[in-house]
Amino acid sequence: ASHQLRIHDTINTNFYVLTNSNPIIEKSTKNIFHPLKISYKNYEENITKAKFDTSNNKWNQVQDFQWLKKEKSPNFDTRDDNEEVKL
């Protein structure tokens, strides 16, 4: 969970994201973005204190600063197939 997520020089990594701004990648390839699905005692309280809007998670609105074309960047993928992790 982050208010801003900027990723540089990263290859073949899975990111589980809760952010209210578009994630940004630069010089990165073969990355996969998933929504953060987690629960633990006081999770909701912590999210509220941190001022996250869980209804506005932009985990899949990735911007690739090395790919400025209208077509989707080949440097990342998005998947919403992960299950919630309970800690």
Q: What pLDDT is stored for residue 68 in this prediction?
A: 86
Output b/e per residue, 30-57; b: 16+ Cβ within 10 A.
ebebbbbeeeeeeeeeeeeeeebeeeeb
- Give the mean model confidence (pLDDT) for residues 23-29: 98
pLDDT bucket at 6, cuts 50 / 70 / 90: very high
Using pLDDT thresholds of 50, 70 and 90, give the confidence band for residue 7: very high
